[in-house]
């Protein structure tokens, strides 16, 4: 995966979540999911399309091959890092939050070494399968905190986790 900013990953995850439901996303769904202005979403969607991560047809937004690969890697890195952090004694909620905050910063080869040292787990501590095969990317799920918050919670705003507790997530 080429180096993607945390915000680009946020957009790809939001689009991925919408695509899981019906095969495509709409701009208004991305605006709602991420809490951004329509022009901001439009600009980022255009950039991601121009970079080959997305396809847009008739106002429907689809993940491109490059976007699917980026999602696959982000979900895998997140699950591996979450597993490592839980093994080191953090709660699964803490580990999930932290692993999402570093997924864009940690090199793949480092995550591969961590994955192997953990015994090559096939799921994260929350029970979500890690995308390790060539299955359709839409058959996977986004783990816990990001699933509940659309990762937009990582901007420092106050949100509720999936158990209804107030949580502040920071990027």
pLDDT of residue 148 exceeding 60, the answer is no
Q: Averaged over 85-102, what is the pLDDT?
A: 92
Helices (H), 4-143: 6-22, 27-34, 38-50, 65-87, 92-102, 108-117
Q: What is the DSSP letter of 90?
A: -
In the chain, % of residues over pLDDT 70: 82
pLDDT of residue 48 exceeding 90, the answer is yes
- How, if at all, do strands 60-63 and 54-57 pair? antiparallel
- Which tens digit of pLDDT belongs to each residue from 119-137? 999 998 888 899 987 788 8
């Amino acid at each position: 995966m080429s180096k993607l900013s945390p915000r680009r990953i946020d957009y790809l995850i939001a689009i991925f979540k919408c695509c899981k439901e019906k095969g495509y996303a709409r701009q208004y769904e991305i605006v709602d999911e991420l809490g951004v202005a329509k022009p901001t979403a439009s600009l980022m969607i255009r950039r991601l399309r121009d970079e080959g991560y997305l396809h847009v047809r008739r106002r429907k937004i689809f993940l491109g091959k490059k976007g699917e690969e980026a999602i696959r890697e982000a979900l895998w890195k997140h699950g591996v890092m979450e597993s490592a952090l839980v093994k080191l004694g953090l709660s699964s909620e803490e580990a999930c939050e932290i692993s999402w905050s570093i997924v864009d910063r940690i090199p793949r080869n480092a995550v591969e070494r961590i994955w192997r040292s953990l015994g090559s787990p096939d799921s994260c501590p929350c029970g979500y399968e890690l995308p390790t095969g060539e299955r359709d990317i839409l058959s996977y799920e986004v783990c816990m905190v990001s699933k509940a918050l659309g990762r937009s919670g990582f901007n420092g705003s106050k949100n509720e986790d999936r158990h209804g507790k107030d949580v502040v997530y920071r990027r």
